[in-house]
Chains A and B, each alone.
Chain A
C-alpha cells in the first residue's frame, strides 16, 4: 500500500506544479502562444516568402506582408469565433459566437472530467474513450428505445453518464486493487473504445439498416437536446448542461464531504489515509465521476450536434480536454473558460482557413504551445520577467530545509 502511494509521488508533484501555476501564467501562456502562432502564420505565408526574396533591398515589404498575414488570419479567426461585423443581419453576426459555445460544450464537460481526476491526484488520459462510450450508450437509448419526449432525453443523458462512468470505473478499480497506473490503463482503454465502437457499427443493433457505412440510425427527435436559439443555430441544451456540470463540480469539490475526501487524497494521500479516508475508494469514485462527465460530453456530441453515432464521434475532444483542464488549472470555472477559448479556436479556425487560406492546423499548434508554456511556468516568467522574489517570501527555505532533515531521519537509517 505505502509503496503504491509513493509510486505516485513524482507524478503528483508534477500535478501540483501545474495546478499551482497562477492565473497570470495561464493568461500569459495563451498570449505567448498566439504571438508565436502569428509568427508561424507569417513564415508559411506565400506573399511573405515572395517578399523575403528581396528582403535586403526592401525589408518593409516583407514586414508588411508578415503583419498582414498574421493579423488577417487572426481577424478571420475572431470573426469566425465571436462576432462577424460584416454580416448582413444581427442573427448572422452573432452566429459565430453560438458556434463557439456549441463546440465548447463537449470540451468543457470532458475537461471537467480530466480536472476532477487531476484534483484527486490522477492523470485521466482516458476522456477520449469515455466520450465514445458515453456517446454509444446515449445513442443506443436514442435510436432504440421509444419513450415520451423529455423522458427519452433524460434516459439518454443518464445512459451516457453511466457509459462514461463505466469506462472510468475500470482504471479506477484497477488502480485501487492492483496499483495499475491509470495513465497506461486509460490510454489502452481509449484504443479499446475506438475499436469497440468501430465493431459495433457493423453489428445489426447499431448499424443503420440498409446502409453499408459504419454509421448508426439517426437518434429519435425525442432523445435530442432541444436547440436553444431555434433552428438557425446549432447551439443546444447541452451547453446549459455544461454550465450546470461546472457549478456541480465546483460544489462537489469545494462544498461536499466527497470533494473534501477527493481533494485530501489528491493533495496528500498519506494524511488522508491516516485521517480515515479511503484512498482507494477515492480513486474509484473520482474515476467514475470523471468518466461520467466525459460521457456527458459524448451525449452532447451524439444528441446535440451529430445526431448519429459514428466512429469519429469524439473527434479529438478527449485529448483537447486534457489541455483544457491544464489551462483551467483544474478549477471548475477555469476549465469552463478554457473550454470556451478552445471552442473559439476550433470554431474560428474553420473560418480562418476558408477566408485566408491559413491551415486550421495552426490552431493545433497554438493549442500545443499553450500546454508547453503552462507546463513550464519558469519559462513564461522568464520571458515576461515576472519578479520571482516576491513569490519566495512564502517558501521560508531555512525552516523547510531544517524540517526536512528532521523528518527524513528515519529514511536515513534504512
Chain B
C-alpha cells in the first residue's frame, strides 16, 4: 500500500509542530524519519495514526484521501504502530494481548482465542519470530515483547508499520535481530516508517531517510550519506560528533565500591555484589541495557536506597548509611537519569532549580532567610556560562527544552567543588547541538581531576566518553574493560557474558 502525506500541518495554538510536511512511503520500503527530540516526528506519526487531527493537509492511501477519527480508523485502513512504550498488559498472555481490542468471537459472543493463537503461530513461523502465544508478557524479554507488538499490528493486516524509536530499549544484539525482522517484513511488501534519532542504525536499516527539523522537512537523502552530514541536517549547523578528548591522566583511586548489594523492598538483588574503583581524572562509563541495576547503583551511592550493603568509600569516608544531604555535602555531584522526575522541580524557576540542593548554604541563605538577590545573581551567571536558553531566570524550568533543562542540572552540579561526579544518561532527550556542549563540560570536569562516573544506555556515548567501561547485567558487574573495547564485545557483555567470555566469542566470530 502506498502511503502519502501531503502538506501535513499541525498547529497547537501558535506553535507549529508540523509545517506542511510531505512524505511518501512505498510498499517494501523502509522510510526513516530522522530528527531531534521535539522536531515533530511523534506529532506527525500521531497525526498519521489518527491521534491528532491535522490542521491542514491530506493523508492518501493508494491515491485515495482518507481521514482518521482515531487509531481504530487507522488500524482498519492498514496502519499499525509500535510505540516506544509498549502497550501490552504484563499479566496477559501473548494471545490475549494480541486479541485485545480486536477479539475473534464464537457464536454467543464467546472469546475465540484459538483463532488468535493460530494467527500468531502463522506469523511467528513466517518471519521466524519464535513467540509462544501462551507465554505471559511479563516473562518475556524486551526484544520479544516488541515482536508481540509487531505481531499485534500484523494480525490486524497492517501494510504500513510505524516503529517509534524501536531500539531505545534493546541490546545491540536485539537491535540486530530487529533489523533482520524489518528486512523480512520489507521483503513481504510491508511499508515501514522507522523513527529514530540514532544516526548509526538509521543508516543501517533504511532505504530513504527524511530529516525533520523544527517541524519541517529538511530533505530526503540516501542512507549512504555520512553520519556527520546527517547530524548537520538534523541540527541545522556544523556539529562535530567526535569529542577529541585528551587521554586520561588517572590519579589516586579515591572512589571505591566494594561488594555493593542493593535489595528491592521485596528482597530482589537489584545490584549484586558489585566492586569497582574510579580514579581522579578518569571517566568510568557504566554500560548496560536499561533496567539492569544502573539506577539503583547511582541511587545507592547518593544515599537514596534504603537496602544497600557493602561499602562505598569516597576519599576514605564511608557513604553507605549517610543521607543524601550529607553525601552531597561530601562533594558528590549527581545528574539523575530522569531530569524531569528527579533532577528538577518543573514549576520552580530556573534560578531556584540552580540551587535546588544547596539552597540552605551561604551565600544563598543565612540562617532561615534566603537571599533572593544572590540566588538571582547566581542564576544570571550560570545562564550565561552554560548558555541556557530561557526567557529569564524567573521562567519555570518546565518550559525549557530538554537540552536546556539538562544544562540547568549540569550547571548546578558542576558549580561546586566536587570529589565525585555522577551523570546518568547525561544526554538523553537532548538535542545534538547540546550533546556536544554537555560532553565537553563532563570531560572538562575529568581534566580538573574529579573522578567521573557516566551511566548510559547508548553505546555511542559510552565509547565517546569512557576511559574505562563497566558493564552491568541483571545487577551483576560483567567486568570492567578499556574504553576502546569494541561494540561487539560490549554487546555480548550487556547480554550477560563476562569480559573474558565476550572477548573470546568475539574473536571466534571474527576468525
- Residues A409 and B290 in contact, CB atoms below 8 Å apart: yes
Q: How large is the interface on A (under 10, 10 to 19, 20 to 34, 35 or more residues)?
A: 35 or more
Interchain CB contact under 8 A, A267 and B370: no
Among A272, A277, A397, point to the contact of B17 (Cβ < 8 A).
Answer: A397
**Which of A3, A256, A264, A268 has a CB less than 8 Å from the CB of B369?**
A256
List of B residues within 8 angstroms of A260 by Cβ = 352, 359-360, 370
Task: Report the Cα distance A270→B299, complex, angstroms.
Answer: 12
B368 close to A256 (CB less than 8 A):
yes
Question: Within 8 Å of chain B (Cβ to Cβ): is A396?
Answer: yes
**A252-287 interface bits toward B, Cβ cutoff 8 Å, 1 = contact, 0 = none:** 000111101101100110111111111000000000
- 1/0 per position for B292-328, CB-CB distance to A under 8 A? 0001000000101010000000000000000111111
Measured between alpha carbons, how far is A44 from B144 in the docked complex, in Å?
67
Known contacts A257-B368, A276-B327, A406-B168; A411 and B85 CB within 8 A of each other: yes
A393 interfacial contact with B, CB 8 Å: yes
Binds A, one of B40-48, B239-247, B378-386: B40-48
Contacts of A402 in B (CB 8 A): 37-38, 41-42, 429
Chain B CB within 8 A of A403 CB: yes
Q: Is A403 a contact of B86 with CB atoms below 8 Å? A: no
The 8 Å CB contact of B42, one of A389, A405, A411, A414, is A405
**Hey, which chain B residues are within 8 Å of A389, CB to CB?**
13-14
Answer yes or no: B416 CB below 8 A from chain A CBs: no
Residues of chain A from 381 to 397 with CB closer than 8 A to chain B in the complex: 389-397
Partner of B360, one of A257, A270, A390, A410: A257
**Is residue A398 contacting chain B, with contact meaning CB distance below 8 A?**
yes
Shortest CB-to-CB span from B378 to chain A, Å, is: 14
B contact residues around A57 at 8 Å (CB): none
In the assembly, what is the distance between CA of A1 and CA of B41, in Å?
36
* B348 within 8 Å of A (CB atoms): yes
Residues of B within 8 A of A178 (CB): none
Most buried by A among B85, B324, B348: B85
Out of A257, A394, A397, A412, which one reaches B370, CB within 8 Å?
A257
Contact yes or no, B15 A396, CB < 8 A:
yes
CA–CA, A410 and B368, complex, Å: 39
Q: Does A399 sit at the interface, judged by CB under 8 A?
A: yes
Are the C-beta atoms of B345 and A406 separated by less than 8 Å? no
Prevailing SS type, chain A contact patch: helix
Which chain A residue lies CB-closest to B290?
A410
Contact A274 B169 (CB under 8 A): no
Contact status A274-B165, CB under 8 Å: no
B372 is an interface residue with CB less than 8 A from chain A: yes
B42 partner residues in chain A, CB cutoff 8 A: 398, 401-402, 405
Judge whether A255 and B369 touch: CB under 8 Å: yes
Partner of A255, one of B12, B215, B360, B370: B370
List, in ascending order, chain A residues with CB within 8 A of B124's CB.
none
Flag whether B347 is at the interface (Cβ < 8 A).
Answer: yes
Q: What chain A residues lie within 8 Å of B365 (beta carbons)?
A: 257
For B37, what are the chain A residues with a Cβ–Cβ distance below 8 Å?
A: 399, 402-403, 406
Which chain A residues lie closer than 8 Å to B357 at the CB level? 274-277
B324:A276 contact, CB within 8 angstroms: yes
Residues from chain A with Cβ under 8 Å of B428 in the complex: 406-407
Give the contact stretch, choosing among B91-99, B107-115, B200-208, B332-340: B332-340
Asked if B484 lies at the interface with its beta carbon under 8 angstroms from chain A, I say no
A395 touches B168 (CB 8 A): no
Name the interface residues of B336-376: CB closer than 8 Å to any CB of A: 336-338, 340-348, 352, 356-357, 359-360, 365, 368-370, 372
Q: Which of B71-130 contact A (CB under 8 A)?
A: 83-86, 90
Cross-chain contact of A405 among B85, B304, B336, B360 (Cβ < 8 A): B85
Q: Is the CB of B334 within 8 A of A412?
A: no
Q: Are A256's CB and B323's CB within 8 A? A: no
A263–B348 CB distance below 8 A: yes
Neighbour of A278 across the interface among B169, B323, B340, B369, CB < 8 A: B323
In the bound complex, how far is the Cα of B428 from the Cα of A260, in angstroms?
A: 28
Q: Is the CB of A271 within 8 A of B41?
A: no
When C-beta atoms are compared, the residue in chain A nearest to B52 turns out to be A397
In the complex, residue of chain A having the shortest beta-carbon distance to the beta carbon of B37: A402
CA distance A131 to B302 in the complex (A): 41
> Roughly how many angstroms separate A408 CA and B169 CA in the complex, as a whole number?
11
Contact of A397 among B12, B343, B429 (CB under 8 A): B12
For A273, list chain B residues within 8 Å (CB): 304, 324, 342
The chain A residue with its CB closest to the CB of B289 is A413
A269 to chain B, nearest CB (A): 10
Distance A255 CA – B215 CA, assembled complex (angstroms): 41
**B198 to nearest A CB, angstroms?**
12
With A274-B336, A278-B325 known to touch, is A412 a contact of B169 (CB < 8 Å)?
yes
- Please report which residues of chain B, range 17-43, place their CB below 8 angstroms from some CB of chain A when the two chains form the complex: 17, 37-38, 40-43
| Across-interface contacts of A274 in B (CB, < 8 A) | 302, 304, 324, 334, 336, 342-343, 357
- The verdict on A409 contacting B84 (CB below 8 Å), with A275-B356, A395-B12, A414-B291 known, is yes
User: Is B12 a contact of A270 with CB atoms below 8 Å?
Assistant: no
Instruction: Tell me if B256 counts as interface (CB < 8 A to partner A).
Output: no
A405 surroundings in chain B (CB, below 8 A): 42, 83-85, 164-165
B14, closest chain A residue (CB): A393
A278 to B42, CA, bound (A): 38
The answer to whether the Cβ of B401 comes within 8 Å of any Cβ in the partner chain is yes
| Pairwise interchain contact B40-A398, C-beta atoms closer than 8 A | yes
Chain A residues near B337 (CB-CB < 8 A): 410
Q: Which B residues lie within 8 Å of A277 (CB)?
A: 325, 357
Among A257, A263, A398, A409, the residue within 8 A (CB) of B15 is A398
A395: B residues at CB distance < 8 A: 12-13
Residues of chain B with a CB closer than 8 A to A403's CB: 37-38, 340, 402, 429
Cβ-defined partner of B348 (8 Å) among A267, A390, A392, A398: A267
Q: Is the CB of A399 within 8 A of B168?
A: no
Contact for A399 among B14, B46, B85, B402, CB less than 8 A:
B402
CB-based nearest A residue for B412: A275
Distance to closest chain B CB from A273 (angstroms) = 6
Is B142 located at the chain interface by the 8 A CB criterion? yes
Distance between Cα atoms of A407 and B326 in the complex (Å)? 28
Q: Is B399 an interface residue (CB 8 A)?
A: yes
List B contacts of A398 (CB < 8 A).
12, 15, 17, 38, 40, 42-43, 215
Question: Which residues of B approach A to under 8 Å, CB–CB?
Answer: 12-15, 17, 37-38, 40-43, 46, 83-86, 90, 142, 164-165, 168-169, 215, 265, 290-291, 295, 302, 304, 306, 323-328, 334, 336-338, 340-348, 352, 356-357, 359-360, 365, 368-370, 372, 399, 401-402, 428-429
Q: 9 shortest A-B CB distances, which residue pairs? A: A276-B325, A392-B13, A275-B357, A398-B17, A399-B38, A412-B85, A257-B360, A276-B324, A268-B345
Given A264-B345, A267-B348, A402-B429, output 14 extra A-B contacts at Cβ < 8 Å.
A256-B370, A260-B352, A263-B348, A268-B341, A268-B346, A274-B302, A274-B342, A278-B323, A389-B14, A396-B15, A397-B12, A399-B38, A402-B41, A406-B37
15 A-B contact pairs sorted by A residue (CB < 8 Å): A1-B306, A255-B370, A256-B368, A267-B345, A275-B357, A276-B326, A389-B14, A399-B37, A402-B38, A407-B340, A407-B341, A410-B338, A411-B85, A413-B291, A414-B90
